[in-house]
A and B are shown apart, each in its own frame.
Chain A
Amino acid sequence: DTEVTQTPKHLVMGMTNKKSLKCEQHMGHRAMYWYKQKAKKPPELMFVYSYEKLSINESVPSRFSPECPNSSLLNLHLHALQPEDSALYLCASSQVRAGEQFFGPGTRLTVL
């Protein structure tokens, strides 16, 4: 099974809302990633978790808060977002020392 699942598929939120994005994989991967993708641009790395510990934060604003409750789950908590944060949010996973990453279908986020 090479599937990464993400919920919800679509999310519309106001600038004062708090919401969470969820990601799950059952491939036994111990590295998980959050990416942000704007239209006609490649994915842009936000966070990397390795063995459930945050190993990379690409200077992401604190209104984005990641969480890795266990080796299969990854959350992204959202609070006080701005309209420019509207994008496709992608989760990916990989073996820690492998190059290939497997992406989920993404959550399309719209901030009003």
Chain B
Amino acid sequence: QKEVEQDPGPLSVPEGAIVSLNCTYSNSAFQYFMWYRQYSRKGPELLMYTYSSGNKEDGRFTAQVDKSSKYISLFIRDSQPSDSATYLCAMNSRGGATNKLIFGTGTLLAVQP
């Protein structure tokens, strides 16, 4: 079993739709949770960063962490064609100088105009 599971998609939605992206994980030591957006042939861009459980909102993006279920989500409201990209979840545990991020496989999102 992989440490982090993410549906690879592709996920195709019409413009304006609410998008839900999800990851599950198995390591209960994970405390830091990130969502990255990666456009084709570009580096990952940090979208959301949350610590432990709870919700965090930034504009059209909301990140949710449920540590009891080992489940994290990213919601995109009023999706735009410019949101078309691969979305990677990533997580790690605190402590030490390693900070090794464990990534999901990424979900490819296409928002149709």
How far, in Å, is A100 (CB) from chain B's closest CB? 4
Residues A56 and B104 in contact, CB atoms below 8 Å apart: no
| B51 in the interface (beta carbon within 8 A) | yes
Residues A103 and B49 in contact, CB atoms below 8 Å apart: no
Q: Residue-by-residue, is A90-104 near B (CB-CB < 8 Å gives 1, otherwise 0)?
A: 100010111111111
B101: A residues at CB distance < 8 A:
43, 45, 99, 101
Also in contact, A90 and B43, with CB within 8 A (given A42-B104, A99-B51, A103-B36): yes
Q: Which of A2, A94, A97 contacts B94 (CB 8 A)?
A: A97
Q: A99-B32, A99-B94, A99-B101 are in contact. List 20 more A-B contacts (CB 8 A).
A: A41-B106, A42-B105, A43-B44, A48-B100, A55-B98, A56-B98, A56-B100, A90-B43, A96-B99, A98-B99, A99-B51, A99-B92, A100-B46, A100-B49, A101-B46, A101-B90, A102-B46, A103-B44, A105-B42, A106-B43
Chain A residues with CB under 8 Å of chain B are 2, 4, 6, 31, 40-43, 45, 48, 50-51, 55-56, 88, 90, 94, 96-106, 108
